[in-house]
Amino acid sequence: PAPGARNKLDQQQRRKKIGVLTSGGDASGMNACVRSVVLYGISKGCDVYAVYEGYQGLVDGGDYIRKMDWRSVTGYLSIGGTSIGTARCMAFKTREGRLLAAQNLIKNGIDSLIVCGGDGSLTGADVFRSEWSGLVSELLKADRITKEEASIFKHLTIVGLVGSIDNDMSSTDITIGAVTSLHRICEAVDSVDTTALSHSRAFVIEVMGRHCGWLALMAGIATGADFVFIPERPPSEEDWETAMCKVARRHRELGKRKTIIIVAEGALDRNLKAIKVDHIKDILCDRLGLDTRVTILGHTQRGGSPCAFDRILGTVQSVAAVDAVLASTPDKPSPMIGMNNNQVTTKPLMDAVKLTHEGAAAIESRNFDRALELRDPQFLDELKVFNVATILDDNSIYLPEHQQLTIAILHIGAPAGGMNSATRTAVRYALNRGHTVYGVANGFSGLVRGCFEKLDWMGVDGWTTCGGSLLGTNRAVPGKDVDMGMVAFQLQKYEIQALMLVGGFEAYASLVELDKVRSEYPSLCIPISLIPATVSNNVPGTDFSLGCDTSLNVIVAASDAIVQSAQSSRRRVFVIEVQGGRSGFLAVEGGLAVGACAIYIPEEGIHLPRLQGDVQFLKGLYDTDNPEKSEGRVILRTEGVSNTYTTEVISEILEDEGGARFDSRTAVLGHIQQGNTPSPLDRIRASRLAIHSIEFFEKHTCDALDHAQSICEEAPLELCTNDDSIAVIGLCGVEVHARSIKELLPGTDMKNRKAQEDWWQRDRSLVDILSGRSYFSSIE
Ligand code: ATP
């Protein structure tokens, strides 16, 4: 070939060719992975091939291996399962099958494979890589590939993504698909709940999880079930039937009209005997006389559109997978992309698989403590959350009388999904510890009017699934909107020894005000906690506030429906206004979850050159679309981003500029973002933070109370004055931390009502990259 053509050939040869496949059981979010690998891979100058039908497609080759372009994955984000297909492939387990797979990869010029699947699929991928050079030699010897091909494809790069609904892989906090599955389970249990209530029935619900109880346990916490059975923590009693009946009976005596038992399909007793739903049903019928039904959720748990969390997880992990491919060297072990403490991680794939198998083996050898240790780090904490908030009259966790507290809980600011769950769990755990709990109606404005009401076990029953604020919430900040003296007076009058605030930035501002004047009022010298709850996710001291996940899911559902309205008839750009105040969290993370083509956030503002650039970008996009196809696209705009460039104004500019190419409409999501039913993640986060908040109270009061007891005095009014005893109880990744207001204030932007640094800003540039902004301008 001529020098120019040779050069081009060399370049083509050097161009990275990545294959992506999904394997094993399907999991919602796999499509987000494929989309992200394709788009990010292309934006990095790679060629990306989808291998259809998992390893079977690799073995069969031909049309099963297809080059993808930017448009190949349009619409993938909202589709459940995997659109490129998956399979369990026996042939790939044989050397002959893998020989064919290697030949097909080489013939397509592919030297890197991103595999999304469970531990089996990832093991298969590693086996394939480890014998790669042997396979290449064998193919060469048999003349199935050329010498040149053998020398070019000396190494195979493998990167693993964990797609599995069970969340059963070690070394990662969460697997792709698990949270969507939890959504399906909670929707089903919430539905069963109403019929159970109506008929006063018991339901025994079987959920997936052959070796892992994550789904069962999380569903138990999120739905407020009475009892859960999981493989890695069998009931402690030999006679678990009696233990279960004791709990169910006690709950009925308290007035519950429904009994919900959640059973992982792999649930075991201490002797490794399977615990089966029909047996549980018989026990509840025979011993308690309960009208009991069995519901096996089966494959409904796998289905449906992915939740916001899985879309984001699949997207960011796949970006990391492509980066790992580009950074790989032959001497490095195959990496697995995971998630630890809200950070994307890269760990040796086979170490993770080994630990996962160790977990299953630990169960088989009845080493349940080891099995639990091998789960994600918060699993134990969540197990405790379920137990201590569920079983009443467990004297083992009752505190001595002198350490029992009087606690007040109030909600502040706008409602957010999870506020009620936090309150319910705090009340139940507190009662199990011997404390007394008051609910205060309507925040600090209710507090100064003395709106205190004692909360009991049944009083908060069913709260976990309710949106809004059942206590009533209010934006008043003490010292600003209500008199601080009256706050102190009412706390003293009701002998409150610990105060739990649940709310957003107004609650944070309240904490700041209470902290300022604490030394002036002895009744404020008590531990005060804030559980962050706001859709804006702008409270310093936490990665996630309650309500933000619910809100993201509302945005995702609304955006999917809006885009669908255009798909069959219009070329239309929707400018969707989302909440967030001065925080762009919902627009950035929502933008990733819906595949927005642009976002406008307060942290950046809107300027004419930016708008001009976006108009040009959209014109270019619609110009390159198939003229026969209609296409809806989405822009997310945070409500507080600009007074000039309102949602209407932006849409009108787009409408004018779009001309014949596209039109534009607005959608203001408004208060529906504050949720109806809280998402499972919000309910679970709420419960964990509530338990930690009660523990925080106990930690900061026990010394003063013990001292008073030792000198035979009444509990003092001033229980604690140290800085640490006024704190935000927040999530740092998946870990719960109490961070004092004094520690947080220097990093707080009080004017813009948010932290000075936002972890989610790291995802900002991805929204643009995956929108195709740079890619399309580079090919113009
Ligand atoms: P899930 O968690 O949904 O079960 P998984 O990936 O663990 O997903 P498996 O059925 O165990 O599902 O594996 C999927 C495919 O991976 C198998 O059908 C097979 O093609 C391949 N595979 C699994 N184990 C191996 C292995 N040891 N060697 C080669 N290929 C394997």
pLDDT digits 0-9 by tens, 63-72: 999 999 999 9
Residue nearest to atom 16 of ligand 1 (CA): 121
237 known ligand binder:
no
- C-alpha of residue 347 to centroid of ligand 1, in Å: 20
Residue partners of 713: CB distance under 8 A and separation at least 6: none
Which whole number is the average pLDDT over 767-776? 90
Residue 253's Cβ-count burial label (10 Å; 0-12, 13-18, 19+) is exposed
What's the confidence (pLDDT) of residue 1? 43
Q: Do β-strands 663-668 and 571-578 pair in parallel, antiparallel, or remain unpaired?
A: parallel
For residue 44, how far is its CA from the centre of ligand 1 (angstroms)? 30
Token output for 662 = 């596209």
> Mapping DSSP to helix (H, G, I), strand (E, B) and coil, where does residue 227 land?
strand
- Residue with CA closest to ligand 1 atom 2: 118
Q: Phi, psi (5° rounding) for residue 577? A: -90, 125
How many Å apart are CA 586 and CA 760, to the nearest integer? 10
- Supply the residue whose CA is at minimum distance from atom 25 of ligand 1: 124
Token pair belonging to 304: 């449906």
CA distance 533 to 733: 16
pLDDT score, position 669: 87
Q: Atom 28 in ligand 1: which residue has the minimum CA distance?
A: 124
The predicted-structure confidence for 479-512, as pLDDT tens digits, reads as follows 999 999 999 999 999 999 999 999 999 999 999 9
Q: Establish whether 301 is an annotated binding residue.
A: yes
> Is 299 known as a binding-site position?
yes
**Residue owning the nearest CA to atom 29 of ligand 1:** 124
The alpha carbon of 121 and the centre of ligand 1 are apart by a number of angstroms equal to 4
pLDDT at 282 over 90: yes
Contact 457, 411 (CB under 8 A): no
Distance 82 CA to ligand 1 centre (A): 16
Statement: residue 193 has pLDDT above 70: yes
What's the farthest any 2 CA atoms get from each other in the chain? 99
* DSSP-assigned letter for residue 286: H
Predicted confidence (pLDDT) at residue 191 exceeds the cutoff of 70: yes
Whether the per-residue pLDDT at 708 is higher than 70: the answer is yes
How large is the average pLDDT for residues 89-118?
96
Ligand 1 centroid to residue 731 C-alpha, Å: 34
pLDDT at residue number 105: 97
Residue 172 carries which DSSP code?
Answer: S
Closest ligand 1 atom to residue 166 Cα is: 2
Helices (H), 290-373: 308-327, 349-364, 368-373
Q: Is 737 annotated as a binding-site member?
A: no
Q: Best substitution site from 30, 64, 88 to test ligand 1's pocket, by max atoms within 8 Å of Cβ?
A: 88
* Closest ligand 1 atom to Cα of 119: 7
Cα 37 to middle of ligand 1, angstroms: 21
Residue 412: Cβ within 10 Å count: 31
pLDDT recorded at residue 394: 65
Per-residue model confidence as pLDDT tens digits over 421-435: 999 999 999 999 999
Report the C-alpha gap between 775 and 38 in whole angstroms: 12
Residue 161's pLDDT is what? 98
Q: How far apart are CA 432 and CA 695, in angstroms?
A: 12
Which atom from ligand 1 is nearest to the alpha carbon of 92?
A: 20
In angstroms, the CA 189 to CA 297 distance is 9
186 is in an annotated binding site: no
pLDDT given at position 779 = 65
Centre of ligand 1 to C-alpha 117, Å, is: 8
Which atom of ligand 1 lies closest to the CA of 87?
18
Report whether pLDDT(543) > 70.
yes
* Whether residue 391 has pLDDT greater than 80: no
Question: What φ, ψ does residue 527 adopt, rounded to 5°?
Answer: -70, 135
Whether residue 580 is predicted with pLDDT greater than 60 in this model: the reply is yes
Distance, CA of 492 to CA of 163 (rounded, Å):
53
User: What pLDDT does 93 receive?
Assistant: 97
Cβ atoms 216, 297 nearer than 8 A:
no
165-181 mean pLDDT: 94
- Does the annotation list 317 as a binding residue? no
- pLDDT tens for 337-358 read 999 999 999 999 989 989 998 9
Report which ligand 1 atom has the smallest distance to the Cα of 26: 3
Expressed in angstroms and rounded, the spacing between residue 13 Cα and the centre of ligand 1 is: 31
Weakest-pLDDT range from 70-74, 622-626, 680-684: 622-626
What residues are labeled active site?
166
Q: What does the block give as tokens for 34? A: 């494929």
Pocket perturbation via mutation, ligand 1, pick of 28, 93, 176 by most ligand atoms within 8 A of CB: 93
Q: How confident is the model at residue 566 (pLDDT cuts 50, 70, 90)?
A: confident
535 carries a ligand binding annotation: yes
Mean pLDDT of the chain: 93
pLDDT score at 506: 97
Q: Is 545 annotated as a binding residue?
A: no
The residue contributing the CA closest to ligand 1 atom 31 is 124
- Residues at CB less than 6 angstroms from ligand 1: 23-25, 55, 88-89, 92-93, 117-121, 123-124, 127, 164
Q: Which residues of 520-556 are buried (b: 16+ CB within 10 A; e: fewer)?
A: ebbbbbbbbbbbbbbbbbbbbbbbbbbbbbbbbbbbb
Nearest CA to ligand 1 atom 9: 120
Note the Cα 81 to chain centre separation in Å. Answer: 18
Q: What is the pLDDT of residues 18-53, one digit of tens each?
A: 999 999 999 999 999 999 999 999 999 999 999 999
pLDDT at 7 over 50: no
Please state the rounded mean pLDDT for residues 594-612.
95
Q: Can you tell me which atom of ligand 1 is nearest the CA of 168?
A: 2
Q: Ligand 1 atom 20: the closest Cα is on which residue? A: 89
Mean pLDDT of 665-680: 85
Q: How far is Cα of residue 414 from the mean position of the Cα atoms in its chain?
A: 22
